[in-house]
Structure 1
Amino acid sequence: MVKNRELFPLVSVDIALFSVVEERLKVLLVKRAQEPEVGQWALPGGVLKPHLDNSLEATARRVLADKVAIDLPHLQEVKTYSGPDRDPRGWSIAVLFYALLPLDKTDAVVRNKIEAVAWMDVVSPKRRLAFDHSDQLELAIQKLRAKVAADVLPLHLLPERFTLSQLQKVVEAILGHPLDKSSFRRRLKSSEDIIETDEFVRGAQRPAQVFRARQDFSF
């Protein structure tokens, strides 16, 4: 009798979940508790279950909810990886997604088939990642930076209410270099994605106005 794995490739998803922690861009990693690659750090991921998932995005959301208790407001597909050698279990297909989430809303909780979770600095990673996840992470970072460099605001990394200084620090963390404050503020004046509020917070020299994202904003 021919096994299903010989007929059909293993189909899975991997997710690069980014946040800005202490003004540095970081990615959420999980430590694998089962073979293959037991004990190795990896991007959160899991196998497609056709009886549960009506799309690969649904697979990604289920996997994160199951493993680290995260409900994402936004997911973006990046690339499909495939081949006979990327996974020791056999011929496989993995679809990479990335997402943005404020750290105070992740509430990461260890659940099924993982030992631990950690936020890794994307600038100077110190861990070897399982499978081809190092390559996947590098591409996800490139896609994220390219989008922000094209003036798309990463508002999903910010709290519901934020200042322009907070927004600039998040953009700088993603791009990896400081920005001129005056130029950045001029660019924001034409943006329809951020809305002024009547709130102010104490600033270093004077009160800073508070903003929010447009209701239907999506990165």
Structure 2
Amino acid sequence: MSEHRELFPLVGVDVALFSVVDERLKVLLVKRAREPEAKRWALPGGMLKPHLDPSLAGTARRMLADKVAVELPHLEEVGTYSGPDRDPRGWSVTVLFYALLPLDKIGAVVRNKVEAVDWADAASPGHRLAFDHAEQLSAAVKKLRAKVADDALPLHLLPDKFTLTQLQTVAEVILGHPVDKSSFRRRLKTSKDLVVLDEFVRGAQRPAQLFKASEGFSF
């Protein structure tokens, strides 16, 4: 270990990038191409570059720009992980964020500096994750679920135009259980986060009205 590593910790970010695919909450995993933990699956992450990044949130956005070819509408801090043993390169500090990617934008994910990417089940990713990323992923899922349980609307996971059925489905996917349709719709009637559009799509029984998120909506 170099003298620099002994004096200063590694500082970086990790991001749990969520989307909804086939009515399942998914998270983007990358297969690491380099040591440490080469060939292992991990949350995408990167190191702070003080000459480029105004903040650790800026580090996260810069890193994600290398892997996702769209601007992400929502990025939120989850927690901080640190210690001498979580990274074999030395004492390290990482800030975990989660980000939300609309379901119609998942094709924008590109491979850069990784061997492969996988949209894995967020609750059961099916891979043994590198570093402490299993713990981080669990924390990110828990925080996302808590926000939706507290009546936040996950509009950032929906296309620009959507039906109320699509919105309810996404909420149920995140929570992991059905919600009462009547009470859910009553709450939406008074929500300032939704804009009603004079547009409809074909529904199972009758045309379904389309909505969009209000300008400046924040999850």
Amino acid at match of 1:101: L
1:36 corresponds to which residue? Answer: 36
The answer to whether the 8 A contact 1:68-1:111 is kept is no
1:146 corresponds to: 146
Percent identity over paired residues: 72
Distance in 2 (CA, whole Å) between partners of 1:207 and 1:67 is: 37
Task: State the AA in 1 paired with 2:112.
Answer: R
Q: CA deviation at 1:116?
A: 0.7
Q: Provide the secondary structure at the position in 2 that maps to 1:124.
A: coil
Where has structure 1 moved over 6 Å in runs of 4 or more? none
TM-score, length-scaled by structure 2:
0.96
- 1:143-182 deviations in Å (ceiling 9; x for gaps): 0000000000000000000000000000000000111211
Deviations 1:84-107 (A, max 9, x none): 000000000000000111132241
Deviation, 1:3, is 2.3
Q: TM-score, normalised by structure 1?
A: 0.96
Residue 180 of structure 2 is matched in structure 1 by 180
Distance (whole Å) between structure 2 residues aligned to residue 163 and residue 204 of structure 1: 12
Q: Are 1:11 and 1:47, in contact at CA under 8 Å, matched by a contact in 2?
A: yes
Aligned to 1:67, the other structure's residue is in SS state coil
Number of the residue aligned with 1:82: 82
Q: What's the offset of the Cα at 1:71?
A: 2.6
Aligned: 1:111 with 2:112? yes
Aligned to 2:211: 211
* 1:47 corresponds to 2:47: yes
Give the aligned residue type for 1:14: D
Listed as ranges, the gaps of 5+ residues in structure 2 are none
Alpha-carbon RMSD across the aligned residues, in angstroms, is: 1.1
Provide, for residues 90-133 of structure 1, a one-character-per-residue CA deviation record: whole Å limited to 9, x for no partner. 00000000011113224111012x11111011233211100000
The answer to whether the Cα contact below 8 Å between 1:64 and 1:70 also exists between their aligned partners in 2 is no
> Deviation at 1:183?
1.6
Number of aligned pairs?
217
List gaps (5 residues or longer) in structure 1.
Answer: none
